[in-house]
Amino acid sequence: MATSTEPAPVAGFADASAAALAAQLRRRADAALEHCLPAASIQPEHLHTAIRYAVMGGGKRLRPLLVYASALLCGVPVERVDAIAAAIELVHAYSLVHDDLPALDNDDLRRGRPTTHVAFDVATAILVGDALQAHAYRVLATDATLGSDAARRQLVLDLAAASGAAGMAGGQAMDMEAAGSRADLAQLEHICRLKTGRLLEAALLMPSRLAEGLLPQQLVALQQCGERFGLAFQLADDLLDIEAPARLSGKPQGSDHRNQKPTMASLLGREAAHRRLAALQEAALASLAAWGGEAEFLRWLCRTQLRVPGAGPVSDGLP
């Protein structure tokens, strides 16, 4: 799925800052998504219009950025992982559409605009999620740049494991079951590892399937970084729900409290939660020691994405 007309980025920063590289890779992810999505003019037009609304309506493209960062780190050309970046983002988009539904979080704002079920209707939003999940696996299964049938099958299995009952969907189910309960920190962290962390881990590990000559400790480092990144990212999101108004977060403030969801932030308290977030961020950075100086772009993502808007002067350079 070679989709972008821009030159492939390099892993270093001689020609561009990390922020500029991130912006370039974000545009590449958008192009990959545009390439794989059906046009709104194709039947069923209403469904395809809603699909494009859900996927192409903004967002940081964090998961694709992690895919590309991993590819650069592992020596895999970025054009070979466009399909991985797109597939993971399609699964993420489907999860947001379903998560916003009245039966789950019942949110009416996402990325600063009406959620899919509000902009269209609940039935359409359900079908959007169904179609996006199926399409993600089709993208992986049919993209020849990913290699052999066996290689593509392994990538499909990786994404299925990260997003199914042993991953994201299972974490969502446990999250719902915990509503109104007094879950302890270990339980909440386990939920977050499944609900958020597994897909982020997959974004870092799936590109390594296409690499050659990686050391075992380098693969372990990617897995550990993904797990710690996922916990930190979820904790930052919990704090965002408490601290950031909708104009900053793009979604309703206080959604977790309204839905009686216990979170790491509500359990720890704001000050302790910020300390825990800083510790998790440092742990994610430390896990990359096996990669030495080659991991600078991934370290930059850890520093800029694992924080709460308004908590400091660092800019991530992402619109």
Residue 2 has pLDDT above 70, yes or no: no
Task: Return the minimum-mean-pLDDT range out of 10-19, 68-77, 134-143, 159-168.
Answer: 10-19
Higher pLDDT, 259 or 317: 259
pLDDT category at 318 given cuts 50, 70, 90 is very low
Higher pLDDT, 105 or 78: 78
Tokens of 65: 């950025």
Mean pLDDT of the chain: 89
Any idea which architecture 18-305 has in CATH?
A: Orthogonal Bundle (1.10)
Q: Is the dihedral of CA 192, 216, 299, 29 positive or negative?
A: negative
Average pLDDT for residues 49-54, to the nearest whole number?
98
pLDDT category at 251 given cuts 50, 70, 90 is low
Distance CA 236, CA 149 (A): 39
Distance CA 175, CA 188 (A): 8
- Helix, strand, coil shares of the chain, percent, nearest 5, are 70, 0, 30
Residue ranges covered by each domain of the chain? 18-305
Model pLDDT, residue 241:
82
Tokens of 219: 């693969």
Helices (H) and strands (E) in the chain, counts: 16, 2
- pTM for the model stands at 0.90
Tokens of 263: 């979170």
**Cα angle value 111/63/125 (rounded, 5°):** 45
